[in-house]
Structure 1
Amino acid sequence: MSNSCGLLTIQKEPVPLKSIEVELEVRDHVATVVSTLNYENKEDKPLEAVFVFPLPGDAAVCHFSAQIGQTQIIAVVKEKQQAHEEYDDALSSGQQAFLLEESEQSPDIFTLNVGSLPPGESASIRLEYVTELAVQADDGLRFCLPAVLNPRYQPQGSEGASVQVTSVPASLVPYSLSFSVRVSSPRPVSKVESSSSLEPLQYVNTEQTQATVKLAAGHKFDRDVELLIYYKDAHQPTAVVEAGQASAEPGSLMGDPVVMLSLYPEFPQSVMSSLASCGEFVLLLDRSGSMDFLMSGGKQTETRIASARDTLMLLLKSLPMGCYFNIYSFGSSFQHIFPKSVEYSEKSLEEALKIVEAIQADLGGTEILEPLKHIYSQPCIPNQPRQLFVFTDGEVCNTKEVINLVKKNSGSHRCFSFGIGEGASSALINGLAKEGGGHAQFITGSDKMQPKVMQSLRFALHPAMEDISVTWDLPKGVSVTVLSPPITAIFQGQRTLIYAQLTGLSSEVAEGCVTMQYSLEGHPSQNQLHFTLKPAEDTGLTIHRLGARTLICSLEMEERYGEGNEKVVELSVHSGVSSSYTAFIVVNKGNGEPIRGPLLCRHIPTLDIFLKSGLMSFYEEDPWSSIIGKSVKKKVKSVFSRIGKYFKSVSPQSDRKQTSAETFACSDAVIEPEQPPPRDPLLQLVSLQKASGCWLLDPALAAAVGKTSDEVENTKPPSVNQEVWATILALIWLHGFKMDAKQEWELLAMKAVSWLRAQSAACEAECVEAGNTLLGCEVQRNVLGL
């Protein structure tokens, strides 16, 4: 049906969703998000609007209501099948109904059904959720408002239908977004940064502990909105006790107080400065077609797969001698470089790097489950702790199945995960790291992949905490029920959260204490936190809901392959927090006349990052294998890839109006062959380092440090070994010119220093002086670690 009124989808259907208003309130490291979705039916028949959208994977959706005219109706949580039946019954009887449900396959996808919206009528849907903010490497707290919903890849042969998503390019998203933020903390707010343009930060009080900020005018809802919030003197261990709900039964989760502990364990510097020289490092790289798209922001000419290649090279160069490694890559199928993990040596490193340099995004879909099964089927190497690094930009329909597999094998490895680009599934990336006892990182906006990956490698090389336990010291008569799963990993500078229900707590002011104990390289250690049991005021049951969501996630993992889900349903209904087995349902039973006439369905379009290039998402679906030869398919994909990059280079995203079909119509354009961009000087130098940590004195090294071969060779002190001279030159160059990227090269520099020490060279001081003179630097010998 065509209609000149209102906005239209790419299929020329009217869009009943007109705007989204988002209010974010951040209290210390917890965020409450209130989204209002405004609908209006400008057609002459009643509508059902269906909107599939992303939310943070660990969000606790805790409120859903509808405003129709002057009437507000608050939703209740019910078992999913029952909610569906009530919704269908309401529509069949001509009533209005609203249904909100979480995907059973992935907790970061929700579907909102707005049923029987009469002609000319408006409705406002209010959705509220709470979520924890992750701590970044620079102590910032990260909040992400997902705008991008990538197509979920359905693994071949898998059961169950994925949710139906209507996707459009960024320029055609037919509804507006307003976004405002209020931040409050016991400590002053230093700054708020974003990948999107913000208005200036406004402080509400003189102590600067409260501030507000908004998205700048003209923001296009064409990417995830990412915020980084910084506090002064962050982050300190804290405990917040929240009073129970007055109307809830004492002894129940919502009726009792709940405490949230934020622990930041500090480890002895002597232990943290020493890095492991062993381990089995298994790198798992996504090679699906979408990895050929450009990174968001930053170096606009670099694709995700190109950035991943550089990152793998840097990571491989930083591995310690004596470890083992292997590299897997996956798409619709998977490959591995070696039949099993091999010892790290000059020969194995060179062999791996040759293959890494040739890696392309040419393996079709995103089937990550099978390579994970293959990795776990390999026996672990004695005294070589397995560390799994997963790189992906993808979305899969079987998120929970993948995470459950990682959890089942968590006793034999640690998993570090990296979400690349806009729209990477937060449920998948966070779930892999959480259940695998590792750490999750997201590379979005202008982020560089390398420093984040190297931070995780440092975590992997730190000694693992063992025998972790938490004990409570509470007043007599007070008992504790821990809602969080057992702690499996602790990292220096990273927050550990614990939620617990307190039963029998009186109104008297008292104190509690929690002690975290663990073993570090065979030495027992502990951290303690003393806290008041007096409940905090005006917390809005935020902590109860986060605690309930934590427990629901644990129960869902236990119940998923069991027989029942009664515990999950009972807890979800009791706490009012969403789960995969329940749904929010609203039925407007008002006194008006039933809605008459045929009901039209309108799927609200969601931004699809893959369509931003004007290319169809056939990359992920890979349906051609049985129809045409692989070589032909590869050539066709290559042409389409170049076409997409060509249009990216000549037309800004916000100004483009072409549909996918229009873009393909231009496929006969003459396109010049792409010229590879010049290599980053840092990566050029790193690529020359040997597995042992040294550099060779050759023309390539001279070029990397910006000198001629004659200049480098003629300034070498006479009695100095060539490799010692080359290695010291490289270290001086790194310290003199690349200190802003120290996190990227620090580990391989440490390896180089260890190699130098093993040479027992007598002329190090003379080399450092000569190197500084040649390169025009003033780097002190002790700074180099010599």
Structure 2
Amino acid sequence: MIPTALTIDPTLAHPSGSEHAFGRLETSRGCLPLASLSVVAHVHGLEVATELHQTFINHTGAPIEAVYIFPLPDRAAVHAFRMQVRDRIVDGVIDERGRARDVYEHAIAAGQRAAIAEEDRPGVFTLRVGNLLPGEHVVITLRTVGLLPIEDGEVTWAFPLVVAPRFIPGIPLDDEQAGTGTASDTDRVPDASRISPPVLLPGFASPVRLSLAVTIDGAGLPVAGLRSSLHEVHAAPDGRGWRVELRPGERLDRDFILRWTLGGAALHSAAVWAPDADGEGATAMITVVPPVGAAAQARPRDVVLVLDRSGSMGGWKMVAARRAAARIVDTLGERDRFAVLAFDDRVESPPSLGSQLVPAGDRNRFRAVEYLAQVQERGGTELALPLELATRMLAGRDDRDRVLVLVTDGQVGNEDELLRRHAAHLQHVRVFTLGIDQAVNAAFLRRLAAVGGGACELVESEERLDEVMAKIHRRIATPVLVDVSVHGDGLDLATQAPRRLPAVFAGAPLVLHVRWRGRPRPGAAIELRGRLPAGTEYTQRIHLDSARPGAALAQSWARAHIRDLEDRYAAHPGDRTRIERAILAVSLRHQVLSRFTAFVAVDREIANPGGSPRTITQPVEQPAGWGEEQFGSLGGSTGASPVFGATTFGFVGAADPAAPPPAPILSPTARSGPKVVGAISLGRAGAAPPRSQVLRGRAAPAPAAPGRVSKQESVDGAGIDAGPYLARLLDVADDLLRARSGTPAAQLAVARLLELLEDLRTVGLDALAARLAPIAERLRAALSTADLLQTLHDAVTALRELAGKKNGPPPSPPRQRKGFWR
């Protein structure tokens, strides 16, 4: 199906005889309207400010309205909007969504240029630019601010670049469609046409020029271990930090993900505040670094593992999901109980285990892993029933930790319906979501995890899976701190975000915002209260400091608070009027976009007398790693008319259906052999050696030196790649080197070493585990002794020797490649 928006005067054609242009989507006068997208970001500590520039050009012979459905980070607050046509600049204003639409429609009818930006989902937006004249170009600028997550000292900046197709359940509606997308609105997803952009077939020339640059300032903490997991990048020192730029020619078909370490050993609990511009209130951001060394005997757990086996999970995603599920099952102990649910538009359990919780003994775990090994993708993503079954299994006993783990790509369109049906039950269990995709629906998975007081982890490649599993092990174990609450000493705290504070786990700082009226008095403090695993009360007092000038604390709080309110709006239909008023009040006061507001910009000049421009909806790239068979699996529920979340555009024969499926894309370097591009090691004088550069190409390993372990280690005749585990071993060595006697950093580093030891035994790297065990035991015994410093030094030497690294001086920063931009 090709929507009428593209069957106007422009036609689909390709220039004959142009091999490079074959398959490119063009009109009779040129390409589609979106010409380029530019992202410029500035990171200071854990805060990121981003400018997104979208350039539209009208190549047709008549005025047009360009429609673009695009993603943004779901944690970010959109607080500014601008339209520029030639030398004319119009700053957008935020208003209630209905009024903003009226302003836009009246301007278009009057022949004025206008633009409107609306949020349809957390992280999914629709932009319309109308009355763009032939040959004219317009630049739309959006500004966002937000916070970056940090865990084990590693910061992640993920910027989504494509809205992936989603499963749209329900019966199509006969009413006028809400948007110009390719999916029909249904009784279960009444705005499906607003979240389903048309999709180009694979192999087409990239229709949009993409540029992306980010500067990273550690705010006084050292930046190291910088790496891009899905794109090739160029990094260079820039003043107090680094500047990272995307290689030219990259496509908008997967998320951009950049990670780095930020002085992990130096992080500590802190609170900073800033007044509102009008002086009526103030906002504080509180960073709580969890206590370590307070571990207690873990409580027995009831764990329900819910695995997505729908059609969109095909290829490397299904392989990674099976591996993740099997690893989670292997971590369970004899006192635990578990169940496995695999779902598409049906729900299945291992036949030998049934659909109830069973003891996690060796036999049952083996049966579950055996079942998971043969699970294949099929069908649609009907998530409601497995969530209902899982919460029903976990209802009841309070003497056990109740944990729900969801492994999926999250590509569903009925997010609000799912929250409405299941939010009340999910509040009584800890929910952990593992998102597997290169264009994952992270916003929805974070919403589910937040309702359950858990956390969300993202996996964009099989390589990343090995790194994430250590975190998953910790997350489904007993947390370090539970029942967390915040109290003000001399402050009248009004609101906190997130509304429900999650349990706190080792290595994962908790970041929250609080609001109050007026200014805090000198010496004011925030008191954090919670409960340790053993049941004892825990209190931490954090003094307030002034935030740096320009810190956007109020906007960050507003976005987090609006996200809480939007989830409550979805979950409590009877209270929607009051919640909608609250969302509007926060959005308008703090100039932050929400689902009930919109930014609109109107140029006073009459450009197209009479109005009525022709609408063109911009097609987007097919998500990387998706095949055509995955689009066919996005149909509606059984008994309903098929509803497809995406329509592909292109010429017959542009993609060869007989061609073998593409190999899983693990990283940029996997495409070009064993060279290291996109994994950048940053060294600095006097600092600990940087993380190792992990070669993602599979070059033949060199023989291991005596006492060292090769990256390919054979156990019981099976070849196992030890590379990711050796990389983690070097990370732990760096953490130990940065630690000091008696500090929590040493305890956390030792805890990570013990987790690594457990992982090695789980996957069968017994020889490496046997060599590592004595080192870990000596460190654990030395934590409370005066010999800790010497033991740390000896352990660092032994760990590096074990991983095959000589103990020399730190390497110099990499030389810049002069010909990179050629």
Q: State whether TM-score is above 0.5.
A: yes
Of 379-388 and 734-743, the range deviating more from structure 2: 734-743
Q: CA deviation at 1:48?
A: 0.5
Displacement of 1:200? 2.6
Tell me the equivalent position of 1:84. 101
Q: 1:665-676 maps to which residues of 2 (within 5 A)? A: none
Are residues 1:174 and 2:204 paired?
no
1:77 offset after TM fit, Å? 1.4
Q: 1:642 to 1:356 in 2, by over 3 A?
A: farther
- The answer as to 2:549 corresponding to 1:549 is no
Q: Which residue of 2 aligns with 1:242?
A: 274
**Aligned mate of 1:221, from 252, 259, 282:** 252
1:387 corresponds to: 403
Is 1:323 the counterpart of 2:336? The answer is yes
Residue 192 of structure 1: which of 196, 214, 226 is its match?
A: 226
Q: Counterparts of 1:453 and 1:283 in 2: how far apart (Å)?
A: 14
Q: 2:468 is matched with which residue: 432, 452, 455?
A: 452
CA distance, structure 2, for counterparts of residue 530 and residue 84 of structure 1 = 45
Post-superposition CA distance 1:37-77 (Å, at most 9, x none): 11111211000000001111222111111011222111111
User: Alpha-carbon deviation of 1:210?
Assistant: 3.2
Q: Look up the match of 2:300.
A: 278
Cα shift readout 1:278-310 (whole Å, capped 9, x = no counterpart): 1101101110112112xxxxxxxxx22122222
The answer to whether the aligner puts 1:515 opposite 2:527 as a matched pair is yes
Give the structure 2 partner of residue 154 of structure 1. 168
1:346 aligns with 2:377: no
* SS state at 1:573 partner: helix
Query: 1:282-431 alignment to 2 at 5 Å?
Result: 282-293=304-315, 303-337=316-350, 338-362=354-378, 364-378=379-393, 379-381=395-397, 383-405=399-421, 407-431=423-447
1:387-786 pair list within 5 angstroms: 387-405=403-421, 407-445=423-461, 447-463=463-479, 465-474=481-490, 479-484=492-497, 485-505=499-519, 510-520=522-532, 521-532=534-545, 534=546, 536-539=548-551, 542-560=552-570, 561=573, 562-564=575-577, 565-590=580-605, 592=606, 594-596=608-610, 598-609=612-623, 613-615=627-629, 617-621=631-635, 646-648=660-662, 702-704=716-718, 746-747=757-758, 783=776
Are residues 1:203 and 2:264 paired? no
Deviates more, 1:397-406 or 1:548-557: 397-406
The aligned counterpart of 2:680 is none
Please, what TM-score do these two structures have when normalized by structure 2?
0.72
Indicate how the Cα distance of structure 1 residues 389 and 70 shifts in structure 2: closer, same or farther if over 3 A, else same.
same
* Structure 1 CA distance for aligned equivalents of residues 163 and 105 of structure 2: 27
Conserved? CA contact 1:94–1:116, under 8 Å: yes
How many equivalent pairs are there? 651
Given candidates 158, 175, 184, the residue that maps to 1:144 is 158
Query: Counterpart amino acid of 1:53?
Result: F
Q: Greater CA deviation, 13-22 or 41-50? A: 13-22
Question: Which amino acid in 1 is paired with 2:523?
Answer: E
Residue pair 1:78, 1:583 contacting (<8 A) in 2 also:
yes
Instruction: Provide closer, same or farther for how the CA distance between residues 705 and 216 of structure 1 changes in structure 2, counting only shifts above 3 A.
Output: closer
Assess if the C-alpha contact under 8 Å between 2:109 and 2:610 holds in 1: no
**1:593–1:553 CA distance, 2 compared to 1 (3 A):** closer
Q: 1:18 & 1:419 partners in 2: Cα distance?
A: 31
Percent sequence identity over matched residues?
Answer: 22
RMSD of the alignment, in Å?
3.8
CA distance in 2, matches of 1:183, 1:653: 22
- Aligned match of 1:35 in 48, 52, 57? 52
| 2:190 alignment partner AA | G
8 Å CA contact 2:725–2:756 kept in 1: the answer is no
In the TM superposition, what is the alpha-carbon distance from 1:647 to its structure 2 partner?
A: 4.4
Query: In 2, distance between residues paired with 1:278 and 1:650?
Result: 37
One-letter code of the match for 1:189? V
Gaps of 5+ in 2: 1-9, 172-187, 643-654, 669-697, 699-713, 732-752, 782-822
Partner SS for 1:458: helix
Name which of structure 1's ranges 645-654 and 370-379 shifts more when overlaid on structure 2: 645-654
Q: Is the 8 A contact 2:269 2:286 kept in 1?
A: yes
Aligned to 1:116, the other structure's residue is in SS state strand
Quick one: structure 1 residues 175 and 653, their matched pair in 2 at CA, closer, same or farther if it must change by over 3 Å? farther
1:673 match: none
Secondary structure of residue in 2 paired with 1:389 = strand
Letter in 2 for 1:390: L
Q: Residue 140 of structure 1: CA displacement? A: 1.5
CA gap of 1:244–1:113, structure 2 versus 1, over 3 A, is same
1:261 has 2:286 as partner:
yes
CA–CA separation in structure 1 for the residues paired with 2:777 and 2:512: 41
CA offset at residue 123 of structure 1? 0.8
Distance 2:555 2:523 in 1: 24
TM-superposed deviation, 1:36: 0.8
Equivalent position SS for 1:101: strand
Code of the residue aligned with 2:568 in structure 1: it is E
Map of 2:694 onto structure 1: none
Identify the range of structure 1 (326-335 vs 557-566) with the bigger mean alpha-carbon deviation.
557-566
Assess, with a 3 A threshold, how the Cα gap between structure 1 residues 489 and 80 changes in structure 2: closer, same or farther.
same
| SS at structure 2 position matched to 1:457 | helix
Q: How much has 1:598 moved relative to structure 2?
A: 4.9
Q: Deviations over 1:7-64 (max 9, x none)?
A: 9986543311111111101111011110111111121100000000111122211111
Displacement, 1:701? 7.2
| 2:81 counterpart letter in structure 1 | F
Which stretch of structure 1 is more off in the superposition, 431-440 or 744-753?
Answer: 744-753
Q: 1:111-122, aligned counterparts within 5 Å?
A: 111-122=126-137
**Do the aligned residues in 1 keep the contact of 2:493 with 2:514 (CA within 8 Å)?**
yes
SS at match of 2:365: helix
Query: 2 CA distance for matches of 1:555 and 1:735?
Result: 41
Partner of 2:36 in structure 1?
A: 19
Q: Cα–Cα, structure 1 residues 219 and 593, in superposed 2: closer, same or farther, change >3 Å?
A: closer
- Describe the shift of the 1:107–1:391 C-alpha distance in structure 2 as closer, same or farther (beyond 3 A): same
The residue aligned with 1:67 is 84
Cα distance 1:594–1:169, how it changes in 2: closer, same or farther (>3 A)? Answer: closer
Q: d(CA) in 1 for partners of 2:56 and 2:603? A: 16
Quick one: structure 1 residues 292 and 745, their matched pair in 2 at CA, closer, same or farther if it must change by over 3 Å? Answer: farther
CA distance in 2, matches of 1:623, 1:604: 28
The one-letter amino acid paired with 2:252 is F
C-alpha contact 1:451 1:744 (8 A) present in aligned 2: no
- Tell me which moved more, 220-229 or 383-392: 220-229
SS at match of 1:308: helix
Name the amino acid aligned to 1:146: P
Map of 1:129 onto structure 2? 144
Taking structure 1 as reference, are residues 125 and 304 closer, same or farther at Cα in structure 2, changes over 3 Å only?
A: same
- Give secondary structure in 2 for the equivalent of 1:620: coil
Q: CA deviation at 1:625?
A: 8.4
Do the aligned partners of 1:148 and 1:222 also contact (CA within 8 Å) in 2?
yes
- How far, CA to CA, are the matches of 1:737 and 1:39 in structure 2? 44
Q: Please identify, of 49-58 and 598-607, the stretch whose mean Cα deviation from structure 2 is larger.
A: 598-607
Matched residue SS, 1:589: strand
Indicate if the aligned counterparts of 2:114 and 2:603 stay in contact, CA closer than 8 A.
yes
How many Å apart are 1:752 and its aligned residue?
A: 12
Deviation at residue 705 of structure 1 after TM alignment:
8.9
* Structure 1 residues 190 and 465, CA gap change in structure 2 (3 angstroms): closer
Larger radius of gyration: 1
Rounded to whole Å, the distance in 1 between the matches of 2:329 and 2:624 is 30
| CA distance in structure 2 between the partners assigned to 1:577 and 1:490 by the alignment | 29
1:714 aligns with: none
